Each structure stands twice: as structure tokens, then as C-alpha cells.
Structure 1
Amino acid sequence: MSIIDHGPALLFCPADRPERFGKALERADAVILDLEDAVAPAAKTAARGALIESELDADRVIVRVNPPGTDEFAADLATLSQTDYRTIMVAKAESAKQLRGIDRRFSLIALCETARGVAAAEKFAALDQVVALMWGAEDLVASLGGTSSRKPNGRYRDVARVARARVLLAAGARGKAAIDAVHLDISDTKRLAIEAADAAASGFAATACIHPSQVETIRAAYRPETAAVAWARAVLIAAETERGVFTYDGRMVDEPVLRHARATLRRARS
């Protein structure tokens, strides 16, 4: 069972705040214990100690490690070898060669959050050890010399939308899961709901978040409506007695539509 199969809401939690670990896991479908950006350099050693001492359900824990090639990355992996946590999110992944060098005991989520990382998404997805891809908007724009991933109306700029689509397509082409980026404006639940619903409809397996209050908004966005579930069940039953393309409830139904229906039922079950 993939860690993504537990549900669509993945909650980041700073690894230097062990008092929050249990509560974060209770609130979300999986927790991302963050050793990278959420932890100040001076607190990273303590954060690693907290990770070793923690006793969480390892099947629902992702650990975000520092970028490959850094001393912090090496220390993070040494720490993880002393725990039961085996799913790691590689921050600022930019080279498939670097990912190939990671101990094969670990399942990897490649975080494509720089221009080079997005450009390498297809190569990451081709690696057997990689189970999912995620993209990040703010670091991506910073890597391009920009200042904001969003327009004044709150919508993503075109470069962010292209990166999002490219990561999703790269993951899908290899049968891997894709994780949508965090929404930084915690108070903007309307935009989060719109983007999470779009992510679910587009084929993302999950959306990451930074605050417990965002969890239920994401779950609701990924949860198919009752009418959609009923239609999916009915059209799949109808397909059992039909041959090839047919019409159901006034709509043409072919294999892509049936795959949409199966995906709807999978989301309903999860």
C-alpha cells in the first residue's frame, strides 16, 4: 500500500516540533516531517534527534530531507537509518543520478521545485525507487529570478501552471502518484478548495498543506459527490452488457469515460 493511498491530505510539520507530531498525524491522512525549510540551521541537529525518538505509524510518515549533495542531506539519511521511516521527500531534486545513489531501502518522492527539477521530472518518474512526484511553486519562481508564483488575483502565473502540468504528466506517464503544491494563504479557503478540486479532477493523488485547518478542505475537494459516485456505478454496470461505444443517460460512453468512472469509485473508497 502506497503512503498516498491513506488519503489526499498530506500535512507538513516541522521536525523540530515533536510535540506536534502526533496531533498532525491525527488530523491528516499522512504527515510530512520536515527537516528542510521549516527548520532553522541551528535546530536541525535537535530535529534529527526528535525524529529518532518519535514513535509514529511509519506507514503514514514522509520525511522531507535536505537537498542532495549537502552535508545536511547526508546527516538526514544517517538519521533515518536509525528509524522505521522509509518514505523520504527529496527537497530540490535536480538530478536523477543523485537519486539513484540513495539507499534503496527508501522510497522516494521527488520534489520538483526548481527549474532544473521540473525539467528533470520525466527522469525522476522513470526511477523504480521513486513512488511519487511533487512540485513546489515558490522555490521554482525563485530559481527563475522571479518574486511571486501568483498574480494579484491569487491565481498561479503561467510558468507555475506549466510546471504543475509537467510534473503531473511525468508522474502519470510512469504510473506514479503526483502531489499538488501547498497553498500558503491559510485564510484563503476558497482558493484552496478550487485548486484542490482541480487537482483531484486533473489526476493528482494528493495535495500537501501547511496547517491542520486545510485538511478537511482538501479531503472534501477530493471526495466525489454522491451523484457522481452513483453515475459512475451505474455506467459501469451498464457497460457490462454493452459492446464498444454506447449511450448512457444521454451521454456517449467509451473507454476513457469508463476509466473516469473507475477513478471516481477509487476516490470514493479512499
Structure 2
Amino acid sequence: MSFDLGPALLFCPADRPERYAKAAARADAVIIDLEDAVSPDARADARVSLIANPLDPARTVVRVNAVGTEDFELDLAALEQTLYRTVMLPKAVSAAQLEALPAYDVIALCETAAGILAAPEIAAVPNVVALMWGAEDLIASLGGSSSRFADGSYRAVARHARSSVLLAAGAHDKAAIDSVFLAIADITGLAAEAEDAVASGFRATACIHPGQVAVIRDAYRPTAAEIAYAWAILEASATEGGVFQYQGRMIDGPLLRHAEAVLRRAEAP
């Protein structure tokens, strides 16, 4: 199933409708959040705002509350009054949960220990279009207190979870979305993490502030030198048989696919 949202997906609290259009103008897609960004006593009003302030459904995702909660059922009732058909499901822990969302494309958010371990079976569900992982809820589910070291780098368990979700998504030809970067002022750290995400195979990165969008887009956009190199080795492959050398480097099938991925990103809007 295709995924053409991204690379910068911006969360927007559902109870702040005055921000909807601004978020849509800044990001590649908006995630209107009915869950963590909205206090429980404000969710009823948030659903009213969701219905009354429509955005382009092709560039909008709605994060509902977890399956099994009363809020989830109320969220679905509100969604049925909109044109939105892409849902982010938080706290996803099993393929069975997706049975509650048969009419929607689903971005499954694996953000607990159970969710990370179940990522392969979740990714196999036909209407799942992408997997995302969440560091802070994961650590909370383990009884921990921090996903990162003081220098901003992830602890080993978070790195393992990130890789596990990426591999599960890739094994089922689904997109993987990298987690948010909470240190809003640390643009350098965000850039490094986004660059690693795209190099590793993530298709998008979620963000929490409009100021992070340009940084993420720059990371996912190939440089002129990367584009030129990709074209050069692909053109050289047309006249070379099998493995060949280019500028002192061995080029084979996997590296040609890397080059094709660079050109696909360069062609993205």
C-alpha cells in the first residue's frame, strides 16, 4: 500500500482549531491529535473542532485514542462525520486491534514493549500503511525515566525499538515513520537524527513544532552532489556488466538501488 505523506508530519492538538490551517501550510501533512495533546476534559470540544474545521483529507491524519477506551469509540463517531480516512492508532499492541478500523488506512504507533514486539504482525495487516514508534511511552511502559542520555543520544533499548519498527515495516513493504524530537531548540540534534532516519530507510519524521519542519525536509532532500552521483552510477551501469568500479568504489545491485532511492526523494514534492 502506498504512502505519500511526508517527510515532515506535524502534530497539531485537536482542541486548537486556530492552528489547523497554519500547520497544514507549514508541513507536508498534519496529524490532528485527539490523544496525548488534549486533556481528557477537553476531548469532547476537540471532536467538535475536528468536524467543524476541515482540512485536505489527503494530507491529514487523525490520531485517535487507544482501542478499548471510551474516547476511542467517541473519536470514531466523530471521524464518521468527516472526510478523513487516515488514522494514527496509538498504543498499538496487536493485529486484532486493527479490526476496529476496517474503513481506514492506519498508521500504527508502536510505543510500548508489547507494541514493539508485535510490530511484525501489526505491519502485516492489509490496511496498515505505516508504522511509527514512540520513545517516551515505550520507556514509561518499561518503568524507566528517560529515553536519551544527557548528550541527546538514545539509550540502547530505544535504539533497538527504533530499528525493530523499521525492520518490521520494511519486511511488509510498509513505510516507517521516525519518532518526534522533543528538544525543540536543538536544531543540530534534530538534523542529525533526521539525516540518520532517511539514510536508514525511514520515509518520514514526525515533529511537534513548525520550526522543525524545514530541518526535516532538508535532511530528506538529497543534495545536488548526491543527485549527481546517483545519476552517474546509474548511467554507468547501463554500459557496465554486473559489478563495476566507479571513482574507486565498487558498485553492485544494492548500491544501484540506493541511487534509485536518492532520485525518488529528489523527485518528491
TM-score (normalised: structure 2): 0.98
In 2, the alpha carbon distance for the partners of 1:101 and 1:50 equals 23
The answer for the alignment partner of 2:9 in structure 1 is 10
Give the letter aligned to residue 93 of structure 1.
Answer: A
Structure 2: give runs of 5+ residues left out of the alignment.
none
Matches within 5 A, 1:200-215: 200-215=198-213
The answer for the alignment partner of 1:129 in structure 2 is 127
Decide which of 195, 198, 223 is 1:197's aligned counterpart.
Answer: 195
Give the letter aligned to residue 133 of structure 1.
Answer: L
Q: State whether residues 6 and 205 of structure 2, in contact with CA within 8 Å, keep that contact through their aligned partners in structure 1.
A: no
Q: Match of 1:232, SS?
A: helix
The answer for the alignment partner of 2:100 in structure 1 is 101
The answer for the alignment partner of 2:220 in structure 1 is 222
Matched, 1:178 2:176: yes
In 2, the alpha carbon distance for the partners of 1:113 and 1:28 equals 23
Q: Which moved more, 1:61-70 or 1:236-245?
A: 236-245
Matches within 5 A, 1:62-141: 62-102=61-101, 104-141=102-139
Q: State whether residues 66 and 72 of structure 2, in contact with CA within 8 Å, keep that contact through their aligned partners in structure 1.
A: yes
Matched, 1:27 2:26: yes
Deviation string, structure 1 residues 146-169 (Cα, Å, up to 9, x no partner): 000011111100000000000000
TM-score (normalised: structure 1): 0.97
In 2, the alpha carbon distance for the partners of 1:85 and 1:264 equals 31
In 1, the alpha carbon distance for the partners of 2:145 and 2:235 equals 51
The answer for the alignment partner of 2:163 in structure 1 is 165
Give the letter aligned to residue 233 of structure 1.
Answer: W
Give the letter aligned to residue 12 of structure 2.
Answer: C
Structure 1: give runs of 5+ residues left out of the alignment.
none
Deviation, 1:6, is: 4.1
In 2, the alpha carbon distance for the partners of 1:246 and 1:153 equals 41
Give the letter aligned to residue 107 of structure 1.
Answer: D
Q: State whether residues 33 and 62 of structure 2, in contact with CA within 8 Å, keep that contact through their aligned partners in structure 1.
A: yes
Give the letter aligned to residue 129 of structure 1.
Answer: N
Deviation string, structure 1 residues 176-228 (Cα, Å, up to 9, x no partner): 00000000110011110000000000000000000000000000111111101
In 2, the alpha carbon distance for the partners of 1:259 and 1:171 equals 18
In 1, the alpha carbon distance for the partners of 2:40 and 2:23 equals 23
